[in-house]
Amino acid sequence: MPPPHVHHDRTTEHNEGSPTNPVRFLGQDYQNLLQKSLRRNELYTDELFPPNSSSIGTLNKEADLDYTNVIWKRPAVLSPGKPFFTVDGMSRFDYEQGSKLGNCWFLASIGALTSKDKETSFMTKYIINQVIPAGQTFSNNYAGIFHFRFWRFGKWIDVVIDDLLPTNDDKLIFVGSKTSNEFWPALLEKAYAKVCGSYADLDGGFMSEALMDFTGGVHMEFVLNEAPAYLWDIMDRAAKSQTLMGCASYHWETREAVSSNGIVGGVITTVGFVEQVMSEGNPVHLVRVLNPWGNTEWKGDWSDDLDICCLYPDFLDRSSGCHWKSQRNFGQWIAGTTAGGSMDNMETFWKNPQFRVRIEELSEDCTHEEGAENILVSLMQNHEKRNRSSQNNLMIGFYVFKSGKFSAEFFNDKRPVKMKSFQNLREVMGFFWLEPGEYLIVPCTEKPGETASFILSIFLKHETHFDQRFFKEPSLSYLFVI
């Protein structure tokens, strides 16, 4: 039996929650609802995300929206001609941000997903087709119903929506398309709003959150003034492997102020491409970024930090013989038993769930750059509340210790070799180098006695061929070898 309050992610290709068998969000079956609407010759209306103010939610005062003037209309009414789901494919240039919602983090993620530079890539097509199932139109078998898929806290879900969209003066209130008869951006936004509880729940966020929900992949963050010297090489390899990337700027003195170099404070942008060119005999590194607003142009050095999201971080290595392998684990902190808090609470800290990991020597075929990282640890809070804005994140982090025998006394004179400082974010991650050996990873909340669920994902660097073994132990820890 697995240790209590901890279980491994043994999702296979066809298990519920896998990419090919997503969970029906709120129990709604797209095919059944579609066929029911076709038989009745009526357009579908979603009772679980109804066309009224409850689905819009409570917007901030700056939005200045008069709810009494909101009218929900279908694309056939809004479009001057025939509406289309897509026009000439999907592009990051298709959409424009609405004026009532600060969801540039979500739109920048769409931009990374639909970059024209990558549309011929197998991996990009795979991700797009996973999020946006093919074959959806306003012609064949049209019944006013659409569906989209997102990865949420360890499982893929299939989300059903109707195509009634909130308007004011015959204009879409939220995301719109630059082509008046194209509606995939507005419908995708509505599906994500439904998952998060309402449109208002999309106000403010991090690009990494949406990218992970689009891919189910691993997230890496680099703060530029702390980034490794070989960051450009990482970005170059990431771009060549069609990895999704974005960057963000810090808030200036006033929200969304524009700096002298054209960067908008607090806005998240898409990284379109990374390229090295020669200028006057010298190599120049160019990075193209796209602001979802599209109203300002670049005038100088770019961004403050960088987000990268991929299915596996193989691009981090120059050697093709190196591949990263992962293990995803679900666990809980339970008040009174496994919620031990940080190391400031040594009398209870040892009660936290603990994960043993063994790092082996790399083979000669797997090139190692001096100081390059060989382990990535991601800790995500597994929220149970639907409304995103009501999900109060706990302060979470984790410690990494040189391993020893599990006991309360083990931690008395131990100092962690690595740690991730506590932050009140949905997900925190650490990316570092560990010498070969056995280690203990302890995810925890900052304060003891806080009950919550979590997902701990561990990515390790190793050669192509490896053995993976699990050791069952009576304690709250387990060991896996890569």
Determine which one of 103, 104, 345, 374 is catalytic. 104
Nearest alpha carbon to residue 462 among 354, 310, 327, 328: 327
Q: How many other β-carbons are positioned within 10 Å of the β-carbon of residue 469?
A: 9
- What six digits make up the tokens of 123? 């991996």
**Tokens linked to 455:** 């997902």
CA distances from 152 to 104, 156, 205, 245 (A): 20, 6, 15, 20
Alpha helices in 96-141, H assignment, sequence order: 104-113, 122-131
Residue 329 a catalytic site member: no
**Other CB atoms within 10 A of residue 66 CB:** 7
Neighbours of 338 (CB within 10 A): 20
Give the 3-state secondary structure of residue 314: helix
Which residues does 118 contact at the CB level (< 8 Å), separation at least 6? Answer: 124, 242
Determine which one of 103, 196, 247, 291 is catalytic: 291
User: Residue 190: exposed, middle, or buried by beta-carbon count in 10 A (0-12, 13-18, 19+)?
Assistant: buried
For helices 207-215 and 104-113, angle between their N-to-C axes, nearest 10 degrees: 40
Q: Is the Cβ–Cβ distance between 79 and 179 less than 8 Å? A: no
CB 9 within 8 A of CB 2: no
What's the one-letter identity of residue 469? R
Task: Determine the Cα–Cα distance for residues 170 and 173; give it in Å rounded to an integer.
Answer: 9
Residues 153, 383 contacting (CB under 8 angstroms) = yes
Residue 440 backbone dihedrals phi, psi, to 5 degrees: -120, 120
State how far the alpha carbon of 401 is from the alpha carbons of 196, 324, 406, 409, in Å. Answer: 36, 22, 12, 14
Return d(Cα 295, Cα 402) in angstroms, integer: 51
Three-state DSSP state, 96: strand
104 an active-site residue? yes
Where do the H-state alpha helices sit in 253-357?
346-349
Q: Which two tokens stand for residue 387?
A: 């409304």
Active site residues: 104, 291
